[in-house]
Amino acid sequence: MVPVLVVFSQSHVDFRIPEFEAICSMLSIRVENMSSINTENHMFVLHFESHLDVTKLLSRSILIKFAISLSVEAQSYEQLFQELKNKPEVIENYDVPDESFALRFFAIGRKKKLDSIERIKMFLEAVQFNHAPICLISPVNEFYLVEEYDHPTDENPRKIFFGKLLGEGRSELKTKYNLRERCYIGNTTMDPELSFIQANLAMVQPGNLVFDPFVGTGGLILPAAEFGGYVMGTEINYQTARAKGRSSRQGVGERHESESIRANFEQYHTEDKLLSIVIADSSKHAIWSSNAKFDVIVADPPYGVREKARKTVKNKKSDANEDYIQYQQKEDYDLEAAFCDLLNLAAMTLVMNGRVSFWYPVILEK
Q: Which of 327, 332, 347, 360 binds another protein (CB under 8 A)?
A: 327
Q: Does 360 bind another protein (CB under 8 A)?
A: no
CA 55 to chain centre: 15
Rounded Cα–Cα distance for residues 117 and 96 (Å): 23
Q: Does 251 bind another protein (CB under 8 A)?
A: no
Please identify, using beta-carbon distances, which residue of 123 and 333 lies nearer to another protein: 333
Q: Which of 285, 335, 339, 359 binds another protein (CB under 8 A)?
A: 285
Please identify, using beta-carbon distances, which residue of 104 and 242 lies nearer to another protein: 242
Q: Which of 152, 206, 251, 361 binds another protein (CB under 8 A)?
A: 206
Number of neighbours of residue 202 by Cβ within 10 angstroms: 27
Rounded Cα–Cα distance for residues 60 and 23 (Å): 7
What is the H or E stretch that residue 106 is in? strand 101-108
Footprint on residues 262-281 left by another protein (CB under 8 A): 262, 272, 275-281
Rounded Cα–Cα distance for residues 255 and 271 (Å): 21
Rounded Cα–Cα distance for residues 179 and 218 (Å): 12
- Collapsing DSSP states into helix, strand and coil, what is residue 70? strand
Please identify, using beta-carbon distances, which residue of 35 and 328 lies nearer to another protein: 328
Please identify, using beta-carbon distances, which residue of 54 and 298 lies nearer to another protein: 298
Q: In the stretch 207-226, what mask flags binding to another protein with x, by CB under 8 A?
A: x-x-----------------
| DSSP string computed for 132-152 | SPB-SSS-SEEEEEEEE-SST
Number of chain residues interacting with another protein (CB under 8 A): 34
Least distance to another protein from the beta carbon of 293, Å?
5
Rounded Cα–Cα distance for residues 305 and 335 (Å): 12
Q: Does 356 bind another protein (CB under 8 A)?
A: no
Amino acid found at 275:
L
Q: Does 232 bind another protein (CB under 8 A)?
A: yes
Please identify, using beta-carbon distances, which residue of 109 and 228 lies nearer to another protein: 228
Q: Does 236 bind another protein (CB under 8 A)?
A: yes
Q: Which of 117, 286, 363, 364 binds another protein (CB under 8 A)?
A: 286
Number of neighbours of residue 264 by Cβ within 10 angstroms: 25
- Collapsing DSSP states into helix, strand and coil, what is residue 306? coil
Amino acid found at 148:
E
**Beta bridge pairs of residue 147:** 107, 160
Please identify, using beta-carbon distances, which residue of 19 and 259 lies nearer to another protein: 259
Least distance to another protein from the beta carbon of 277, Å?
5
Rounded to the nearest 10 degrees, the angle between the axes of helix 116-126 and helix 77-86 is 40
Please identify, using beta-carbon distances, which residue of 28 and 289 lies nearer to another protein: 289
Q: Which one of 32-40, 55-63, 297-305, 319-327 is the stretch in contact with another protein (CB under 8 A)?
A: 319-327
**Beta bridge pairs of residue 332:** 310
Interacting residues toward another protein by CB under 8 A: 206-207, 209, 230, 232, 234, 236, 238, 241-242, 260, 262, 272, 275-281, 284-289, 291-293, 312, 325-328
